[in-house]
Amino acid sequence: MKKFIGSLSFFILTSTLLFISCNNIQKNKSHQQTSSASIKVGKKLAQTYCGSCHQLPEPSLLDSKSWNDGVLPEMGPRLGIFYYGNKAYPSYRNDMNVDKNYYPSQPVISLYDWQHIIDYYTAASPDSLLPAKKTTPIVMNEKLFQSLHPTFTYNKPTTAFVKIEPAQQLITCDAFEKKLFVFNNALQLVDSFNTKSSVTDIIKNNDTLTLCNTGILNPNNGKYGSIENIVLSKKNIVDTIFKNLMRPVQITKTDLNKDDKEDFLVCEFGNLAGALSWLEDKGNNQFAYHVIRNAPGAIKAYVNDYNHDGLPDIWTLFSQGNEGVFLFTNKGNGEFDAKQVLQFPPVYGSSSFELDDFNKDGFADIVYTCGDNADYSPVLKPYHGVYIFLNDGKNNFIQKYFYPINGCYKAIAKDFDNDGDLDIATISFFADYPHEPEEGFVYLKNKGNFNFQPYSLAATKLGRWLTMDAGDFDGDGKIDLMLGNFSLNFGKFKSSVDWVKQPPFLLLKNIQ
């Protein structure tokens, strides 16, 4: 007991001295203008310490307040700094789900050097970010899509998943209700099922739905995610395929090792930890877990044999820390070579990507969106929006197009007007609702030569769109859209529309 009290007293004394020391540093800094020498040193230190884990963000990407109050306090613990001045930096040190070696046991940078980094980012950043300039304004147009919604409604929909099935059937999942809903071709509710947690992806095979259960939706470090099968006719979960996944958000069935058994490719978004992983089918409903990339933020993956060697390769967007698109070339026997083909600063908030051939040269181009704005710097960002990157034929990508959309969350490229080229439909979850609520849904109609006319329609202002799907719902040969309303209204992105009283989804019937 005495030993414990003595250790505690030493800890309190040490912490107090550290607090006083750090506080004096900050007081001295506050009474003198930050020197150019300190900024210069801070820039070099940022290149060393911040640039070692991800693309080094320029100070100009955020305002000074966001750096000081949000991003830098979040980064400090990753360098072993948990207290600075009168601030206790946020961390997960007491979370039993976090690897005890995740944070350094000792600071890897001195407090004086950390102050140099703070000086660099706060002095070299603007007081506020200038809004993005839309060279082509969004035009309201009611002649492109007819908006339809179900008669079935409920208070506070939090639709986290929507899917258009070819047999004139729609499927949604509500995150907080923990329910799957099935609608018929008249948008009438015909069935519902309880789920273990929020479902973010579904693979449908006849009467069976394979569900990607995220577990706990809010950021956490536990392994609560799972994959289950539901048989529609039995209305219940018949078997659990795999458990202990880190907030999985997407599953893909594919035979990665070419043994004539279908494996699962899993995007485990996670939080501090996560992975792009695959579950090897060992037969008898047994799966072996393998990691392709051990990092959080895997949000979307596509499988194709880009080099035509008979082995399925993987393209994946990671949206945490080292943000960007990775190409994993399948070498056989469960081995992959990794190449990062696009890299973005960690403040971008990467949210979705697609593989599409815009210039019809036979090589996959990339449509990319960034707009996740819920974490440490919730300010409108002029670089949020939808991008097109062209492939030079050797998987080197060059930006060809950008259209700014605050909080852009997803883009789907299809030939919606059947004129032979690709148009783009986008949704935003963090739009500038007080000033530009039409950003919530933007349809970019391809006018040729990478010129797109942006349109929206009035009905799309009636929801906060977290998810979207595309498909020919009514069999008329035209691609329709389905938008999921996640109606929570929070932060500085509040709308005058009461989303919680609106339908859980909107079907946009293509009438072009």
* Residue range 286-343, pLDDT digits in tens: 999 999 999 999 999 999 999 999 999 999 999 998 999 999 999 999 999 999 999 9
The confidence score (pLDDT) of residue 40 equals 92
* pLDDT tens digits along 342-368: 999 999 999 999 999 999 999 999 999
> Quick one: 289 exposed, middle or buried, by C-beta within 10 A (0-12, 13-18, 19+)?
middle
Model pTM? 0.91
pLDDT tens for residues 189-231? 999 999 999 999 999 988 899 999 999 989 999 999 999 999 8
Instruction: Please write down the long-range contacts of 97-103, taking CB distance under 8 Å and 24 or more positions apart.
Output: 97/220, 97/221, 97/222, 97/223, 98/221, 98/272, 98/273, 99/273, 102/272, 102/273, 103/77, 103/78
pLDDT tens track for 118-137: 999 999 999 999 999 999 99
Which DSSP letter does residue 53 get?
A: T
Note the pLDDT of residue 491: 65
Contacts of residue 375, defined as CB under 8 A and 6 or more positions apart, other chains included, come to: 70, 74, 349
pLDDT of residue 440 exceeding 90, the answer is yes
- Helix axes of 111-123 and 36-49: crossing angle, nearest 10 degrees: 110
Closest CA to 141 of 458, 499, 414, 494: 458
- pLDDT of the residue at 33: 56
Q: What is the dihedral of CA 10, 13, 16, 18, to 10 degrees?
A: -60
Please list the residues that pair with 456 across neighbouring strands.
Answer: 140
Q: Tell me, what's the pLDDT at 416?
A: 98
Strand, helix or coil at 10?
helix
- What is the rounded CA–CA span in Å between residue 197 and residue 212? 9
Arithmetic mean of pLDDT, 418-433:
96
* pLDDT greater than 90 at residue 421: yes
Max alpha carbon distance in the chain (Å)? 81
The answer to whether 199 and 506 are in contact (CB under 8 A) is no
pLDDT tier at 489 (50, 70, 90 boundaries)? confident
* Residue 356 three-state SS: strand
The confidence band for 13, taking pLDDT boundaries of 50, 70 and 90, is: very low
Select the more confidently predicted residue: 452 or 490. Answer: 452
Query: Is the pLDDT assigned to residue 245 strictly greater than 80?
Result: yes
Q: Share the mean pLDDT of the chain.
A: 91
Q: What's the pLDDT score for residue 459?
A: 95
Q: What is the pLDDT of residue 494?
A: 80
The CA distance from 472 to 481, in Å, is 8
Average pLDDT estimate for 381-402: 98
Q: Look at residue 235 in the predicted model and tell me its pLDDT.
A: 67
237 confidence band (pLDDT: 50, 70, 90)? low
Q: Which residues pair with 410 in a beta bridge?
A: 427
Residue 13 CA to residue 475 CA, distance in Å, equals: 73
Partner residues linked to 281 by β-bridges: 287
Read off the pLDDT band of 374 (50, 70, 90). confident
Tokens of 100: 């005890």
> According to the model, what pLDDT value does residue 493 have?
75
Length of the chain: 512
**Which two structure tokens, joined as six digits, stand for 309?**
């060697």
High-pLDDT (> 70) share of the chain, %: 92
182 band by pLDDT with thresholds 50, 70 and 90: very high
Quick one: pLDDT at residue 11?
A: 31
Lowest-confidence pick of 35-44, 435-444, 462-471: 35-44
Q: How confident is the model at residue 90 (pLDDT cuts 50, 70, 90)?
A: very high
Mean pLDDT of the region 135-153: 96
| Average pLDDT over every residue of 405-422 | 97
**Cα separation values, 489 from 351, 371, 384, 501, Å:** 19, 16, 20, 12
Distance CA 436, CA 134 (A): 11
Q: What is the pLDDT of residue 234?
A: 77
Share of the chain above pLDDT 90, in %: 83
